[in-house]
Amino acid sequence: MGIDIAVLASGSGSNLQALIESPDIRPRIACVLSDNPRAHALRRAEIAGIATEVVRWADHSGRDEFSNVVGDAVEGHGAKGVVLAGFMRVLSKGFIDRFPSRVLNIHPSLLPAFPGPHAINQALEHGVTVTGVTVHVVDEQVDHGPIVAQRQVLVEPDDTVESLHARIQMEEHALYPAVVLAFVNGEIAVEGRKVVWE
C-alpha cells in the first residue's frame, strides 16, 4: 500500500534530488515544502513536476504556530509521512505527535555523536577517525530519535570541512533513498528506541 510523503528542505536540496531520482520514490513525493523561498530545493521540485509550498518562519508567532501551519500544508497535499532533507527548523512536539513515528531525518554524523548543526566541524575538531551518516526517526529532541540506519565515513588526516562533507554527502545520497523507500512502503516499524526494518 505505502504512504505519500512531504519532503521538507531549507537549502540546496541535494538529498531531495537523490529521492527524486529514485523511480520508486518520486511518485510518492506529494510536495516539497521549505521555510526559505529562495531554496534551490524548490526549483528541483518544480523541474520534477512536484508541488511546492513555502511556509516562512518570520510570518508566524513562534515554533508552535509555524509547526501547525507546516503540518496543515503536509496534510493538505495528502502526505502521511514527512522526510526532512536539510530542513533547518526544529518542529514542535505537537507536529511530531501529529505524525507519530512518521518523520525521518538524515544527519551527518554517527549519532548520538555530534548532534546539532555543526556535526562535521565538531568531528574534525575532536580528531575522530570515523564519522558518518545517520537516518533516524524524529522525536521532540534534536537529532535524538530512534536510529534506522547508519553508514561510516573514514576521516582522512588532511580532511577539511568541505572534503569530509563531500564524502558524507555521497553516503547520504545512497542511504537516504534506501531508507525512504522502505518507509513509504511501510517496512519500518518503531518499537521504543528500536527500529525494525522488515
The string of DSSP letters for 84-152 reads: ESS--SPPPHHHHHHSTT-EEEEESS-TTSS-STTHHHHHHHHT-SEEEEEEEE--SSTT-S-EEEEEE
In this structure, is residue 198 part of a structural domain?
no
SS3 181: helix
pLDDT at 188: 93
Q: What is 49-79 written as a DSSP string?
A: T--EEE--GGGSSSHHHHHHHHHHHHHHTT-
Domains in the chain, number: 1
In angstroms, the CA 77 to CA 75 distance is: 5
- DSSP 8-class letter at 25: T
Q: Give CA separation, 119 vs 73, 111, 116, in Å.
A: 30, 10, 6
Confidence band, pLDDT 50/70/90 cuts, at residue 2? confident
**Given its phi and psi angles, is residue 192 left (phi above 0), alpha (psi -120 to 50 degrees) or beta?**
left
107-160: per-residue pLDDT in tens? 999 999 999 989 999 999 999 999 999 999 999 888 889 999 999 999 999 999
In this structure, is residue 194 part of a structural domain?
no
Adjacent-strand bridge partners of 68: none
Catalytic positions: 107
pLDDT at 1: 65
> Tell me, what amino acid is at 32?
V
Q: How far apart are the first and last CA of the chain?
A: 15
pLDDT at 197: 85
Residue 47's CATH number: 3.40.50.170
In angstroms, the CA 82 to CA 99 distance is: 8
Q: Check whether the bond before 112 is cis (ω within 30° of 0).
A: yes
In this structure, is residue 122 part of a structural domain?
yes
Q: Are the CB atoms for 79 and 6 separated by under 8 Å? A: yes
> Tell me, what amino acid is at 96?
I
Region 72-99 average pLDDT: 96
In angstroms, the CA 181 to CA 175 distance is: 10
37-83: per-residue pLDDT in tens? 999 999 999 999 999 999 999 999 999 999 999 999 999 999 999 99
Write out the residue range of the structural domain in which residue 154 sits.
Answer: 5-188
By residue count, the chain amounts to 198
pTM for the whole structure: 0.95
